[in-house]
Structure 1
Amino acid sequence: PSLSHTHRRPRLMRPELLSNARLWATASTTTRPAEQATVPATAGSESGLRLARFAGSAFAALGSTSQAKAAAKTGRLAVNGQLAEPARLLVAGDEVTLSGGRALPSALQDPKQVAARAAALEHDGFRIWFEDDELAVVHKPAGVHSKPYRGARHLEAALPALLGPPCRSTIDALPAPSAVHRLDCRVCGLILVAKTRDAAAFLAGELAARRVTKRYRALLAGGIGGGGDPFEVREAVGGRPSLSIFKSIEATPHLQLGQLTTADLEPRTGRRHQLRLHAAALGAPILGDDLYGAPSGGGAGASLYLQSTEVRVAHPSGGGGAAAVHVKAPEAARFARRRERARMGWEWERRHGGRRAGDIRMVEWGGRREGGARSHEIGRGAARSAAVAMAAAG
């Protein structure tokens, strides 16, 4: 092996990373008074009311089920004086107590380790698009989980070094910045992060009410029709009604697939893998999606051409009024590189491969018009696909 491989130069770490991690660790020692809430008579064990769900709505200091789960796992939630697991079933009259401690998760207790993880994340393309005392909008690189997952690398393990702690109110600050929604590990792009309890509760409410706009850029393996107009996809996901808006932006000829479609996608509901499933249902799965039908040729874990490029949400301080955070990010450079490779392959084959441009036809299909938008009604297991016909030369 060469010298460069046996003696790697250590990754440079900005001093601010360690400073931020230490500030978050210090702020986590600030406590607030304990709070109590009684389970109302309308909630019994037959309703399946669990501790995390109840505490997330009963305590403004938590504001969401995920924050309540974290509080229970760090010993801050008790039922009738006894520490309880997040999945504990509650009955009417149970007394739930939220202690005032702000225990920092064990993975974040060593500022040097947090800063090292942050430096690695920056090297992979992490970027802050917006930040203030209450929230942030950041770019999550592909290959990183949004939240803790089976010991794998995740975004939240580095956020205390990457984001400054809120200076407005340390009492209201979360123990560490928290992603309020998820992106799949292989998906890159914009993600909302809360820095205070009030912001976490507000953003969770906006997401639940579907008042957060999120748009994605994708490369699809095939044509989707629509003529450049947005259209609806209403394929159920996991037996639940689901809605996405698809819009074709650009068509690129591709020798094997017939066509690559650059498209903007907007999920109106939030089901797991919704956009990936809806693209596959159209017969044009997302390029690189080896789970739903369009491997990119790079093997398992290769690039998935899906990126969160736009997010718009009301700001917590605006109370849902005029104040809003709106971030639009450009598509990753690899999208353009993939399109250019497809064009070059097409042109080379057209000139030298014995095929003519007219030999490959890209047949688009359309759906019926509904209210000015094209709507594709897709039955389970009977999705219509874009037809690609390739005739032999001569």
Structure 2
Amino acid sequence: MLKLLSPTTLGKIELSNRIIFAPLTRCRAGAGYVPQPINALYYAQRASAGLIISEATQVARNGMGYPNTPGIYSQEQVEGWKQVTQAVHSKGGKIFLQLWHAGRVAHPSFLEPGELPIAPSPIAASAMADTTEGQQPHVTPAEIKLEEIPAVIEQFQQGAKNAQDAGFDGVEIHSANGYLLDQFLQDNSNQREDEYGGSIEKRSRFILEVTQAVVNVWGKEKVGVRLSPGSNFNDMHDSNKNATFSYVVRELSRLDIVYLHIIEPRIKGNVTIEDDGLGLGVKFFRPIFTGKIITAGGYSRDTGEAILQSNDADFVAYGRHFLANPDLPKRFALNASLNKYNRDTFYTSGAEGYTDYPTLE
């Protein structure tokens, strides 16, 4: 049997296989950024994953980075997510919520009138923002004042509490892809001169304090963190990525969280994700992190199996293949052909390209 399909545990959670449904932004939340029945259907269709990690879910309105992404900061959103978790659990699945704040790559069109995105420093990302009016330049964000940082950490902690109320099995903290936690970590976006900027230790403080706050809610066995050390997505750079990410991964290991989720360095499709020749993937971090490791990055059935057989990772996350193949574990078991994904419907609305991909049956 494929190691991909072998049962295992994550902390105390029993998983039917090692195939993870990766967190994928789909822009299909309803009014008030509340999950809808169609979202529950979408996730339930993919409940044969060992674990589902939900799409990025903002912990505050000003953390919203794309149109119609769901939140976890209102009671209506909690009730909407209950539909999702109940649907997944009814199919025997397990699901974590991904806690997210977009930081400087939020756009004013998503925020309250007159509000600016927040960031560790007032430095705009050079990338373009995807808005309902098409792509627009990012604006210069407002620098988070030192006295405001505890309130932002509290938003993550409250989001974690709300995820419990919504019936999730755990949470993943999104510290990848140039969003707020990543912005604090890397020195091209964090040029603070206080306790949260300057040295690697100080730039790492925010992510570690957020992680501890979330662990205080869930316990360490139900909290994971996602990082993208080799990525320059959303205009992210660091003067010494090797040292920065080695330090933060060691500190996360000391917190004894249940998993580290690493996006492999790559260039894939229309998204530029480069590693600058540093090779900051799971092979690099395996000796540093003592917990379980999830790897993501354009894997096939064979390459996913190979990375598990090498023991460089414990789980493999699949995004686009799982999006287009709701029964992906069964297809892997049978070595069956895969549906092709339709990139044009990744971020649209409605069922097309969302809940209408056929299973083998």
Category of TM-score, reference length = shorter chain? under 0.3
Structure possessing the higher relative contact order (Cα contacts under 8 Å, 6 or more residues apart): 2
**TM-score calculated relative to the size of structure 1:** 0.21
**TM-score calculated relative to the size of structure 2:** 0.23
